[in-house]
């Protein structure tokens, strides 16, 4: 009769290591929820000050310079974006522990001047930073014995990202899928999806106790009809077009600014002055900030037809000229306003258009259709799944292949297929 220890030793997975992963997921769930709450309180306070004193828009250049100065003090790259953090995660590299306070303060400073940035991508960066830091204490190894030598840096960052994002949006499944998709289904992260999902649910329940986060209201859905199918198709195509243009505009400003001068201090100064002039002289103050309030208004059928274009322009200026902050809530806002505006063409309900537009634009802009689908279902209800799936699929498949975070899922599939064909050719 085999000894019990021999049975566990021959198992394909390490029980002890699995328990460590469970403990790490639990700790990151609590820490992710705490980070999300702190982020919401701080950024909300900063933007409330701006709304009370809108003249602070003229201070945006100085606030941008101050945030870069803080990055320099913390020994962080001045031009670090969420895309760069994703690249570190995909390359299985550690994320600096000083990024968490840096992006928190930088996002607050941008919103204090009314900058068109969100806090969701800041949550991803804070989560990655905390995950890398806390992961060191657990000395994590792969759960599967055959992968024992694999580095866990990217995985630790992914757990932190997903947990913090889940607590912010109250979307545990969507957050887990979104981060794994952002990692482009890296093997080490994909194999540990269960612990990532566990951290997301723990963060979700912990944040729910306080009710502090980005709450997007659900909607009563209309009955299925061919007219609704047509509305989804129009919204999907429009989201693909505007999402691709927004991505190209942001990336174009990044490349142009680097080519002319790599001094980010100059660009946030110039970008801040351009932003302030547009907002002050054209009366665009209501379109500043992350756009969460605008999205909620669009979901109630309140919108102006061309606000999506203005919001996209303001967001491109801030993101493209190196201001600190996130792109996810602005993308929801742009997509929601765009989807509502499509009702002029389709004759559909603008509230429904705003909901489907937000998810479709997010899919094309970020290049993450699965994350957009699951987040949309958790936010607007699972009864909307067929319509969200249709809008998201059309938006993603007709948009450019690369989103704001780099190559999309279709490019990943193409590279995987080429490797498979190459290995088959060598075998033959």
* 137 and 286 together in one domain: no
Question: pLDDT at position 411, please?
Answer: 55
| Alpha carbons 291 and 343: distance in angstroms, whole number | 20
Q: Please tell me whether residues 205 and 296 are part of one structural domain.
A: no
Q: Say what the alpha-carbon torsion angle 306, 308, 312, 314 is, to the nearest 10 degrees.
A: 70
Q: Do 254 and 402 contact (CB within 8 A), yes or no?
A: no
173 located within any domain = yes
- 148 and 16 share one domain: yes
DSSP secondary structure code for residue 13 in this structure: B
pLDDT at 363 exceeding the cut of 80: yes
Is residue 224 scored above 70 in pLDDT?
yes
CB 64 within 8 A of CB 97: no
Nearest of 394, 309, 405 to residue 366 by alpha carbon: 405
* Closest of 277, 2, 20 to residue 138, by C-alpha: 20
314 domain-assigned: yes
Q: How much is the average pLDDT of 50-60?
A: 98
At residue 29, φ and ψ (nearest 5 deg) are -60, -45
Digit-coded pLDDT (tens) for 95-105: 999 999 999 99
- In the structure encoding, which two tokens stand for residue 96, read together? 């600096």
- Residue 234 and residue 198 in one domain: no
Contacts with 341 (C-beta within 8 Å, 6 or more apart), sequence order? 303, 305, 306, 307, 308, 350, 353
Model confidence band, residue 74 (pLDDT cutoffs 50, 70, 90): very high
Does the residue 157 lie in any domain?
yes
Q: Does 148 reside within a domain? A: yes
**Could you list the residue range(s) of the whole structural domain that residue 279 is in?**
226-411
Q: Answer with the one of 210, 235, 259 that is the final residue of a domain.
A: 210
Band (52; pLDDT cuts 50, 70, 90)? very high
Per residue in 306-346, pLDDT tens?
999 999 999 999 999 999 998 999 999 999 999 999 998 88
Rg (CA), the chain: 22
Mean pLDDT for the stretch of residues 29-55: 97
How many Cα atoms sit within 13 Å of 261 on the Cβ side?
10
**Cβ–Cβ under 8 Å, residues 207 and 36:** yes
User: Does residue 77 lie in a domain region?
Assistant: yes
- Measure the CA–CA gap between 246 and 361, rounded to whole angstroms: 10
CA–CA–CA angle 28, 34, 38 (5° rounding): 140
Q: What percent of the chain has pLDDT over 70?
A: 90
pTM attached to this predicted model? 0.90
* Confidence (pLDDT) at 1: 45
Q: Does one domain contain both 198 and 245?
A: no
Render the burial of 269-300: b for 16+ CB within 10 Å, e for the rest: bebbeebbebbeeeebebbbbbbbebbbbbbe
Average pLDDT of span 155-183: 95
Supply the CATH number for residue 41's domain: 1.10.3080.10
Q: If you average pLDDT over every residue of the chain, what do you get?
A: 89
Give me the pLDDT at residue 132, please. Answer: 93
Q: Which of 77-86, 111-120, 144-153 has the lowest mean pLDDT?
A: 144-153
- For the chain, the first-to-last Cα distance in angstroms comes to 45
Out of 210, 239, 254, pick the residue that ends a domain.
210
pLDDT given at position 5? 46
Q: Which helix (H) or strand (E) holds 407?
A: strand 406-407
The verdict on 332 and 288 lying in the same domain is yes
Give the pLDDT confidence score for residue 407 in this predicted structure: 66
Question: What does the pLDDT read at residue 76?
Answer: 96
Containing 406, the helix (H) or strand (E) segment is strand 406-407
Confidence class for position 142, pLDDT limits 50, 70, 90 = confident
378 pLDDT tier (thresholds 50, 70, 90): very high
Please determine, for residue 418, whether its predicted confidence score (pLDDT) is greater than 80: no
Instruction: Examine residue 2 and state whether it is found in any structural domain, yes or no.
Output: no
Q: Looking at the structure, do residues 166 and 50 belong to the same domain, yes or no?
A: yes
Query: Is 421 within the bounds of a domain?
Result: no
Helix H or strand E segment including 402: strand 402-403
* Residue 22 sits in the same domain as residue 105: yes
152 & 258 share domain: no
Q: Alpha-carbon distance 250 to 248, whole Å?
A: 6
CA distance 40 to 212: 7
Which of 138-147, 263-272, 316-325 has the least mean pLDDT? 138-147
Of 210, 244, 268, which residue constitutes the final position of a domain? 210
For residue 8, the model assigns a pLDDT of 44
Q: Are 285 and 114 in contact (CB under 8 A)?
A: yes
Distance of alpha carbon 133 from alpha carbon 109, whole angstroms: 25
What mean pLDDT comes out for the span 409-427? Answer: 51
- Residues 6+ away with beta carbon under 8 Å from 226: none
> 355 CB contacts (<8 Å, ≥6 apart)?
219, 299, 336, 339, 376, 380, 384, 388
What's the whole-number mean pLDDT along residues 350-371? 95
pLDDT at site 13: 64
- At 98 the pLDDT is 95
Query: Both 28 and 95 in a single domain?
Result: yes
Q: How many domains does the chain have?
A: 2
- Give the DSSP per-residue string, 22-46: HHHHHHHHHHHHHHHHHHHHHHHHH
Q: In terms of domains, do 138 and 261 share one?
A: no
**Could you tell me the pLDDT band of residue 190, with boundaries at 50, 70 and 90?**
confident
Report the C-alpha gap between 109 and 114 in whole angstroms.
9
User: Rounded mean pLDDT of 367-383?
Assistant: 94
pLDDT band with cut points at 50, 70 and 90 for residue 4: very low
Spatial separation of the C-alpha atoms in residues 67 and 417, rounded to whole Å: 43
Asked whether residue 253 is assigned to any structural domain, the reply reads yes
Consecutive H or E run containing 160: helix 153-169
The mean pLDDT value for 109-124 works out to 94
Q: Is residue 68 located within the same domain as residue 121?
A: yes
């Amino acid at each position: 009769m085999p000894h019990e220890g021999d049975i566990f030793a021959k198992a394909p997975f390490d029980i002890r290591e699995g328990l460590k992963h469970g403990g790490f997921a639990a700790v990151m769930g609590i820490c992710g929820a705490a980070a999300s709450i702190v982020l919401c309180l701080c950024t909300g306070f900063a933007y409330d000050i701006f709304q009370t004193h809108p003249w602070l828009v003229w201070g945006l250049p100085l606030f941008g310079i101050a945030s870069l100065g803080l990055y320099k003090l913390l020994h962080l790259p001045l031009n670090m974006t969420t895309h760069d953090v994703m690249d570190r995660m995909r390359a299985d590299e550690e994320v600096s522990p000083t990024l968490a306070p840096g992006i928190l303060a930088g996002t607050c400073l941008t919103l204090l001047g009314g900058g068109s940035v969100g806090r969701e991508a800041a949550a991803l960066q804070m989560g990655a930073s905390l995950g890398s830091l806390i992961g060191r204490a657990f000395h994590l190894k792969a759960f599967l014995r055959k992968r024992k030598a694999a580095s866990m840096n990217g995985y630790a960052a992914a757990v932190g990202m997903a947990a913090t994002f889940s607590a912010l949006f109250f979307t545990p499944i969507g957050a887990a899928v979104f981060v794994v998709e952002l990692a482009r289904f890296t093997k080490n992260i994909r194999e540990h999806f269960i612990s990532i999902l566990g951290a997301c649910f723990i963060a979700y329940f912990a944040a729910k106790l306080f009710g502090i986060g980005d709450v997007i209201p659900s909607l009563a859905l209309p009955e299925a009809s061919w007219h609704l199918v047509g509305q989804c198709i129009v919204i999907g195509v429009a989201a693909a077009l505007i999402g691709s243009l927004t991505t190209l505009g942001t990336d174009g400003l990044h490349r142009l600014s680097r080519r002319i001068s790599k001094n980010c201090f100059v660009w946030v100064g110039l970008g801040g002055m351009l932003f302030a002039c547009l907002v002050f002289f054209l009366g665009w103050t209501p379109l500043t900030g992350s756009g969460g309030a605008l999205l909620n208004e669009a979901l109630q059928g309140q919108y102006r037809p061309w606000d999506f274009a203005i919001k996209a322009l303001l967001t491109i200026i801030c993101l493209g000229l190196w201001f600190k902050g996130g792109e996810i809530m602005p993308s929801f806002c742009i997509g929601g306003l765009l989807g509502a505006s499509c009702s002029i063409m389709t004759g559909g309900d603008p509230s429904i258009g705003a909901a489907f537009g937000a998810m479709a634009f997010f899919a094309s802009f970020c290049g993450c259709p699965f994350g957009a689908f699951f987040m949309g279902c958790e936010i607007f209800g699972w009864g909307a799944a067929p319509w969200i799936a249709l809008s998201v699929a059309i938006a993603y498949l007709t948009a450019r292949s690369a989103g704001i975070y780099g190559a999309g899922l279709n490019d990943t599939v193409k590279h995987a297929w080429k490797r498979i064909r190459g290995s088959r050719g060598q075998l033959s």
